[in-house]
């Protein structure tokens, strides 16, 4: 996976190419070359590429990985204070806790509006069971709450619904 250091190096090379195209464009206008206006477009395009690469070199692209976390799918996100993830029905409570912590960390963003309700991001985990053919029942297994005010040192509270784990089908050996 590409890192911010890679994007910083690409930004430097793109910046050098942009300066070369700008010098070439300046020279084309002085010498009245026929391609001078095409070089203006190329220089402008290179400026946009360089700015984009610079932006990618600032923002971290990595996701939080918590040991023991299971795979999950984001099924609902209002972009503000609530999100719902789906997990496998075979998940254990310890895996669910790690998965909820990982989801809360990965879904945190300074762009989320925390002014509504209590200013916390609430991520709920659910799974779907099929008690009979053609019937699907969603079961909420737990939730995690974290502050939207700060990413570092914000308290994370995890609540596991142990009574709902009893409703899950037992794995067959």
Tell me the mean pLDDT in the region 16-35: 97
CA 159, 162, 167, 169 dihedral sign is positive
CA distance 78 to 18: 40
The Cα–Cα gap between 66 and 104 comes to 11
Distances, alpha carbon 121 to alpha carbons 60, 78, 92, 95, in Å: 21, 10, 23, 20
Alpha helices, DSSP H, located in 77-166: 93-107, 162-165
Q: Of the ranges 41-45, 89-93, 121-125, 169-173, which is most confident?
A: 41-45
Mean pLDDT of 5-15: 94
Mean pLDDT of the 46-54 span: 96
Given phi > 0 = left and psi -120 to 50 = alpha, else beta, which region is 115? alpha
CA-to-CA distance for 22 and 63, rounded, in angstroms?
A: 37
pTM over 0.85: no
* Per-residue DSSP letter, 81: S
pLDDT at 127 over 80: yes
Phi, psi dihedral angles at 142 (to 5 degrees): 175, 175
Arithmetic mean of pLDDT, 61-67: 77
Inform me whether the pLDDT recorded for 152 exceeds 80: no
Measured on CA atoms in the order 98, 102, 105, 111, is the torsion positive or negative? negative
């Amino acid at each position: 996976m590409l890192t911010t250091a890679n994007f910083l190096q690409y930004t430097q090379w793109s910046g050098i190419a942009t300066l070369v195209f700008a010098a070439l464009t300046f020279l084309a206008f002085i010498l009245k070359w026929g391609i001078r206006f095409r070089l203006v477009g190329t220089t402008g395009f290179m400026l946009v590429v360089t700015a984009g690469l610079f932006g990618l070199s600032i923002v971290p692209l990595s996701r939080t990985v918590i040991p023991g976390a299971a795979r999950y799918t984001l099924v609902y996100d209002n972009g503000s204070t609530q999100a719902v993830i789906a997990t496998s029905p075979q998940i254990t409570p310890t895996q669910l806790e790690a998965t909820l912590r990982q989801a809360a960390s990965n879904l945190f963003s300074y762009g989320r509006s925390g002014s509504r309700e209590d200013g916390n991001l609430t991520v709920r985990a659910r799974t779907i069971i099929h008690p009979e053919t053609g019937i699907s029942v969603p079961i909420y297994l737990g939730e995690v709450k974290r502050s939207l005010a700060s990413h570092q040192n914000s308290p994370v509270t995890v609540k596991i619904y142990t009574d709902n784990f009893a409703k899950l089908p037992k794995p067959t050996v």
